[in-house]
Amino acid sequence: MTIGDSIATKTIGARLWLYSNYHCNLACSYCLTSSSRDVPKRELAADIMLALVDEAATLGFRSVGITGGEPFVRADMPDIVAAVARRLPVVVLTNGTMFTPRFVARLAPLATLPAALQVSLDSADPAANDALRGRGTYARVIAGIRTLRAAAIKVRIGSTVDDGAGAALEPLCELHRSLGILDADHVVRPVVRRGRAADHALGIAAQLEDLPAELTLTVDGAFWSPASPTVRNGRLDIGELLTRTIAPLRIPAEAMLRYASSGGMPQGTGLVA
Ligand code: SF4
């Protein structure tokens, strides 16, 4: 089976994930990657990201996700996102705190490209949101969403909720609708008990079968899912590492296919090629 066939049959996901970096201007309580301003950056270089996306298009991947850390703490990220979007549709997961009018001006090309920014917003209650993500975050995110929308840049909302937070969702949905964001562009996901969330006993434990089989590349190697390459106490979790090789893309893609075809990789072994 080719990589393209495996994507067509949904044996592996159609989206390729790139961890652009691990550092962040925030330090959220539940962060899977224990990100902050002070952690190692672990950046994927721009030329490597673009070469991987070129090969992804050739192999049959249909879209790209960029995550971290906070991608937009990198000065080169606006140019990278536009370059990726000229190759494949892209979604960037962002904390949404950096979208001043001046910064958004650098994102202007995205308005006419297949690019979406998925902005994190966990509650319609500023105090509840900021308790997890940091004081002042809510106000900056709302202002940033308005600035992005005014620039005709596609915005999605990503809400990470601890179990039991379901009751808080309706006000959040009313809020995103009031900002002009449709229900179809609101993504809700649970806190996964990994990284800093495990330090605070937040969220739910996830097994391999709970995670999407979506090839995920970091500077440290290729992983089973975007929830796999987490960091706790400064240590990268390699329990779902497919291979240390990320380029050419064919190598990690074939490793992914091998395990996906056989019902998933042996959990916790972290095969290193
Ligand atoms: S959850 Fe996102 S915004 Fe919060 S510290 Fe981690 S990378 Fe940064």
Cα(73) to ligand 1 centroid in Å equals: 11
**CA-to-CA distance for 48 and 28, rounded, in angstroms?**
28
Cα(196) to ligand 1 centroid in Å equals: 10
Structural domains of the chain sorted by starting position, each given as residue range(s) with its CATH number in brackets: 3-272 (3.20.20)
For 39-90, write each residue's pLDDT tens digit: 999 999 999 999 999 999 999 999 999 999 999 999 999 999 999 999 999 9
Cα(186) to ligand 1 centroid in Å equals: 18
Show the tokens assigned to 146. Answer: 């308005």
Q: How many residues are there in the chain? A: 273
Global pTM value:
0.95
| Mean pLDDT in residue range 210-237 | 95
For 257-273, write each residue's pLDDT tens digit: 999 988 766 555 443 33
**CA-to-CA distance for 91 and 88, rounded, in angstroms?**
10
For 120-155, write each residue's pLDDT tens digit: 999 999 999 999 999 999 999 999 999 999 999 999
Find residue 216's DSSP bridge partners.
17, 223
Place of tokens 């097994």: 207
Reply yes or no: is the peptide bond before residue 212 cis, omega within 30 of 0: no
Q: Does 31 sit in the ligand 1 pocket, CB within 6 Å?
A: yes
* Plot region of 131 (φ>0 → left; ψ -120 to 50 → alpha; else → beta): alpha
